[in-house]
Amino acid sequence: MNFEAIKKAAQDYRPAMAKFLRDMIAIPSESCEEKGVVMRIKQELEKLGYDRVEIDQLGNVIGWMG
């Protein structure tokens, strides 16, 4: 396994990950009012190409790949 290639790939994702985390922090998400954050996570998983993304009855975002 080429760990340098993995490290390089991770560095390439850094700006996108930082933006995603900033977005999540900026969205108000008090207890029982997390819909905005849930929708932002769902949007990110869809953008990343997950095969299926769902929100269950408890408000959890579930993504499947493969």
How do residues 2-21 score in pLDDT, each as one tens digit? 899 999 999 999 999 999 99
Is residue 54 over pLDDT 90? yes
Q: How far is CA 35 from CA 15, 41, 50, 51, 59, in A?
A: 25, 10, 20, 22, 8
Match 């993995």 to its residue by tokens.
6
Q: Considering the chain, what is the average pLDDT of its residues?
A: 95
Supply the angle between the helices 35-47 and 3-26 in degrees, to the nearest 10: 150
User: Is this model's pTM higher than 0.85 or not?
Assistant: no
- Alpha helix positions (H), 27-62: 35-47
